[in-house]
Amino acid sequence: MNSEVLARTPALTSRLPKVGTTIFTVMSALAAEHKAVNLGQGFPDFACDPSLVDAVTAAMQAGHNQYPPMTGVPVLRQAVAAKIEALHGKAYHPDSEITITAGATQAIITAILAVVHPGDEVIVLEPCYDSYVPNIELAGGVVVRVPLTPGTFRPDFAKISAAITPKTRALLINTPHNPSATVWSQADMLALQDLLAPTDVLLISDEVYEHMVFDAQPHESVSRYPGLAARAFVVSSFGKTFHVTGWKVGTVAAPAPLMAEFRKVHQFNVFTVNTPVQHALAAYLNNPAPYLELPAFYQRKRDLFRAGLARTKFKLLPSQGSYFQCVDISDVSDLNEADFCQWLTREVGVAAIPLSAFYGNGFDQRVVRFCFAKQDATLNAALERLQKL
């Protein structure tokens, strides 16, 4: 060996040069440093149903520990198809139109990689979840940002229509919406169906909060609308629904020709998903009560949190779905959203997320997001601190 040769790591040209540490990681680290109540990152701080954990153990003990089929274990795909048909009246074939994924994030990037070619345009509606844009860029697509209406966060169909060009390959939507906690209505879905009807634009519908819609409203899944379902990948998440975000298991439903392309990518970017957990989820889905009761479960937490926030200087925005609550900070501070969240974490001891982090241009409308998927004790501890503002 020549002792004079120096080890050298070659320089790289980044595939994602604009991507750094996510705001969720930054705020969670800051919350831990200052022992703040973390209402920033969106995950529960309470346990899932013990019987679901028991079902995983039972699946392991039954020998379900080797590779499952690439598309997902048949019994789970069948259960997912039956659930969608019962809730939304759309019959997906479990063999050719349902795939089990390693969470919704993997489902979304897989759908994008399957259909977006270099130079294709993909419309995202801002504010949007932070994985969408990097996913499109990794596929070589061109991101077209269309803002939701500031203040109400409703879709502006005139702006969406104006953004569609001959190069538009796909549109991403998200309902219930992260971060704004709004939900799309039947009128919204019908308007989108009419808008897309004369086009070849594909639809990727992020519906991970599908079972968190409040005040007796239904979840308007894309699956309910034939003109949308025929062109859509519909994404859902067991992690969100059953309080097991760390399990990273999701689903995609799509027409067979779209699913065939999805699976070509899926088999090479993850291949397959945790076997015993799939069997456990299939058994757990035999009882619909856990997901049918979820709206009431989270509505109670929403109402508790909103009642406490009403005794602060924050202005509450509507929370129609998901497990998020947005507030206007204008009467509390002159700081911008990002600086306010840093200050709130350090000085008040509660972590939140600035909505500006969900916009490509950092658009600041004096609004921050809290997560109320927490134990009542956690929410009350946060409220006690916030009420001192």
The runs of H, that is alpha helices, within 65-127 are 74-88, 103-115
**pLDDT for residue 116:** 98
Q: How far apart are CA 155 and CA 121, in angstroms?
A: 19
Please report, rounded to a whole number, the percentage of residues in the chain having pLDDT higher than 90.
Answer: 95
Are residues 221 and 185 in contact, defined by beta-carbon separation less than 8 angstroms? no
3-class secondary-structure state, position 195: helix
pLDDT of residue 3: 64
pLDDT at 22: 84
Residue 120: C-alpha distances to residues 128, 164, 166, 167, 249 (Å): 19, 11, 9, 5, 29
Q: Which two three-digit tokens encode residue 120?
A: 């294709």
pLDDT score for 1: 56
Residue 203, pLDDT above cutoff 60 = yes
At residue 69, the pLDDT reads 98
DSSP 293: S
Give me the chain's average pLDDT, please.
96
Per-residue pLDDT at 207 = 98
Sorted by where each starts, the structural domains of the chain and their CATH numbers stand as 23-48+292-386 (3.90.1150.10), 63-288 (3.40.640.10)
pLDDT tops 60 at residue 309: yes
For residue range 214-257, what is the model confidence (pLDDT) as tens digits? 999 999 999 999 999 999 999 999 999 999 999 999 999 999 99
- Note the pLDDT of residue 5: 80
Average pLDDT over residues 267-275: 96
Identify the band that residue 157 occupies on the pLDDT scale cut at 50, 70 and 90: very high
Closest CA to 372 of 293, 305, 290, 297: 305
Does the pLDDT of residue 7 top 70, yes or no? yes
Cite the DSSP H helix spans in 219-270: 226-229, 238-241, 256-269
Q: Tokens 């028991």 label which residue?
A: 54
> What pLDDT score does 214 carry?
98
pLDDT on residue 204: 99
Buried b (16+ CB within 10 A) or exposed e, 343-360: ebbeebbbbbbbbbbbbe
Q: Which residue from 155, 183, 164 is spatially nearest to 123, judged by alpha carbons? A: 164
Contact indicator for 229, 222 with CB cutoff of 8 Å: yes
Q: What share of the chain in percent tops pLDDT 70? A: 99
Mean pLDDT for 178-184 is 98
Reported confidence tier of residue 2, pLDDT bands at 50, 70, 90: low
The residue whose two tokens read 């009431």 is 296
Q: Given a cut of 90, is residue 6 above it in pLDDT? A: no
Average of per-residue pLDDT across 101-117: 98
Specify the range with the lowest mean pLDDT, choosing from 14-28, 173-187, 316-330: 14-28
For 57-92, how does the pLDDT look when each residue is reduced to its tens digit (9 = 90+)? Answer: 999 999 999 999 999 999 999 999 999 999 999 999
Q: What is the per-residue pLDDT for 357?
A: 96
For tokens 């991970």, name the residue.
Answer: 208
How far, in Å, CA of 344 to CA of 14, rounded?
34
Q: Check pLDDT > 70 for residue 382.
A: yes
**Confidence (pLDDT) at 94:** 98
- Residues 6 or more apart whose CB falls under 8 angstroms from that of 14 comprise none
Q: Determine the pLDDT at residue 41.
A: 86
Sole residue written with tokens 């906690």: 181
DSSP 228: H
- Are the C-beta atoms of residues 37 and 351 closer than 8 Å to each other? yes
Q: pTM score, two decimals?
A: 0.96
Sign of the four-CA dihedral 365, 371, 372, 375: negative
Six token digits for residue 9: 């790591």
Spatial contact of 141 and 169, defined as CB atoms under 8 Å apart: yes
| pLDDT at res. 142 | 98
List all residues 6 or more positions away from 185 whose beta carbon is below 8 Å from its beta carbon: 220
Give mean pLDDT, residues 295-320: 98
Confidence of residue 20 (pLDDT cuts 50, 70, 90): confident
